[in-house]
Chain A
């Protein structure tokens, strides 16, 4: 059975912009699904519908057999906490320490009062340090998050997502504001989490070269509709022009 099942998903923003126009696909556990497409093709909206930062206008999203399309309250919190997410701009709390930022991954399962009075358990603190160790920056636990470089901040964001012990990890353009070398380092951590922990990854990417290297399957969007679904090796020049337009030239990132 599919881990995540999206059926005829549509999302229209309050200003009338229709970002997703009828998407259907399944994600099986353990996949590394990469979503590609131009800016404005609906990639970010899709990820935000999956973890329900946005509410779909119509269609359905089913996770582990549970319909989460319109869930609210405690159900919504539980759904969000079972999915980790990292962002293009990392979105850490810059003034707080790296360790605190990682601990905030537990907020979904910690009562509000306990978290505000900073009553994080010993187990949570140990796990936060262990997750920082996984992304190789346990030595930075005590420093302010905004003193780190972009690549390091993204690794902290990954550690924060790992605190949720997620069954799916969403990555929205995780390397779009990083340099090529750092990009590969961040992608390698995502790959390792996917392979070693079996965490399903759904990742939005710009660069085809990264897609070919890391994706187990590719979904290409154009104006909110799927134009390609399959193995990264099947993306020929013709497909490339369909996805990105006739004038596009492939840029390599090594």
Chain B
């Protein structure tokens, strides 16, 4: 175990060395000197190796190790500590400089006359919206809100059933239960870490561009999120009623229904309303990649550079999202 911990820490130390050298070599140096400069690969590889060997030697030879500090919170004392602090600062500063270069931050472009004129044009257009498309825009917004609503409604019963199988206190009574719990939790985590926008791309190929694709994408993501929230609520219930209902000779299903569910309904409702609220926002974004609704309309007008129409859509999106946010917050507060 101890050997494994040392290996992990050393691994991080080596990565730090390799990262700092390669960031200097391949990002900072070309930007500082000239874009055309390129380091011949053997030299690059040799330099990066030297960098990583340096931090490795520091870690093995002295107590200077960012790996041990980050993973286990072990800090050296005296001189080693001061060296380690410098190493941490160098890593941080190199990261900020590289980040600046990679994201192409350019104050010149931001404040250039041509840039500012463009900004003035688009802001002007946004603030003088084209009211002629209000009917089209509202019907697209309605499509988005319904997409979010249907996704939530379809996901709720699935999540409700799955959440019991994903709750440790319900499943940990035997080996089969524990296996189901672990597998389900892993699956849900994978489902959740795939952004809905990816699902929208998949489903827009599967069922064609439109609100149906967007809704399916949201269903998948909502099931994963709600199941996790529901099951954590189930794991949080008071054991007393479970004991009392079990003591009457109730079956497992009856214990779930009469001892656990009553303790969860209000939080479940609250999570569900909040999820619908989130889904309206997500449905807008999903529209950009073929999920239908107001997002899709927005990409079309934006593609045609018709910014007065875009302005109209932005106003409607902002207003609806804001209203739903207020309503959902009010309802959730009343449920407490």
Binding site for B on A (CB under 8 A): 51, 53, 76-85, 87, 89-96, 104-109, 112, 115-116, 157, 160, 163-164
Nearest CB in chain B: distance from A241 CB, A = 33
Alpha-carbon separation in the docked complex, A99 to B253 (Å): 21
B258, A93: Cβ atoms closer than 8 Å = yes
Q: Which of B242-265 contact A (CB under 8 A)?
A: 243-251, 253-254, 257-259, 262-263, 265
On chain B, the number of residues with a Cβ less than 8 Å from chain A's Cβ atoms is: 19
- Residues on A with C-beta less than 8 A from B263 are 95
Alpha-carbon separation in the docked complex, A89 to B246 (Å): 15
Alpha-carbon separation in the docked complex, A80 to B249 (Å): 5
A87, B262: Cβ atoms closer than 8 Å = no
A91-B243, A116-B257, A157-B244 known, 15 other contacts, Cβ within 8 Å: A78-B249, A79-B249, A80-B246, A80-B247, A81-B249, A87-B240, A87-B244, A93-B259, A104-B250, A108-B248, A112-B251, A112-B253, A112-B257, A116-B253, A164-B249
Say if the beta carbon of B177 comes within 8 Å of chain A: no
Q: Which of B2-36 contact A (CB under 8 A)?
A: none
A107, B249: Cβ atoms closer than 8 Å = yes
A112, B254: Cβ atoms closer than 8 Å = yes
Tell me which of B246, B247, B250 has the highest count of chain A C-beta atoms within 10 A of its own C-beta. B247
- Residues on B with C-beta less than 8 A from A163 are 248
Alpha-carbon separation in the docked complex, A85 to B257 (Å): 20
A87, B254: Cβ atoms closer than 8 Å = no
B243, A104: Cβ atoms closer than 8 Å = no
A93, B250: Cβ atoms closer than 8 Å = no
Q: Which 9 A-B pairs have the closest CB atoms?
A: A108-B249, A81-B249, A91-B244, A91-B240, A107-B250, A80-B249, A85-B247, A77-B249, A112-B253
Contact of B248 among A87, A94, A96, A105 (CB under 8 A): A105
7 pairs from A and B in contact (CB 8 Å cutoff):
A91-B244, A92-B241, A107-B248, A107-B250, A107-B254, A112-B251, A116-B253
- Residues on B with C-beta less than 8 A from A91 are 240-241, 243-244
B262, A96: Cβ atoms closer than 8 Å = yes
B262, A164: Cβ atoms closer than 8 Å = no
- Residues on B with C-beta less than 8 A from A51 are 247
Alpha-carbon separation in the docked complex, A112 to B247 (Å): 15
Nearest CB in chain A: distance from B259 CB, A = 7
Alpha-carbon separation in the docked complex, A85 to B240 (Å): 12
A104, B240: Cβ atoms closer than 8 Å = no
B247, A53: Cβ atoms closer than 8 Å = yes
Of all chain A residues, the one with the shortest Cβ separation from B257 is A116
B248, A81: Cβ atoms closer than 8 Å = yes
- Residues on A with C-beta less than 8 A from B250 are 77, 104, 107-108
Alpha-carbon separation in the docked complex, A107 to B254 (Å): 7
B240, A107: Cβ atoms closer than 8 Å = no
Of all chain A residues, the one with the shortest Cβ separation from B266 is A95
- Residues on B with C-beta less than 8 A from A80 are 246-249
A95, B262: Cβ atoms closer than 8 Å = yes
Alpha-carbon separation in the docked complex, A78 to B250 (Å): 9
Nearest CB in chain B: distance from A233 CB, A = 32
Alpha-carbon separation in the docked complex, A210 to B297 (Å): 77
- Residues on A with C-beta less than 8 A from B246 are 53, 80
Alpha-carbon separation in the docked complex, A78 to B246 (Å): 11
A87, B243: Cβ atoms closer than 8 Å = yes
- Residues on B with C-beta less than 8 A from A94 are 262
Query: Interface code B297-329, partner A: CB below 8 Å = 1, 0 otherwise?
Result: 000000000000000000000000000000000
Contact of B254 among A85, A115, A157 (CB under 8 A): A115
Alpha-carbon separation in the docked complex, A96 to B263 (Å): 10
Of all chain B residues, the one with the shortest Cβ separation from A81 is B249
- Residues on A with C-beta less than 8 A from B241 are 91-93
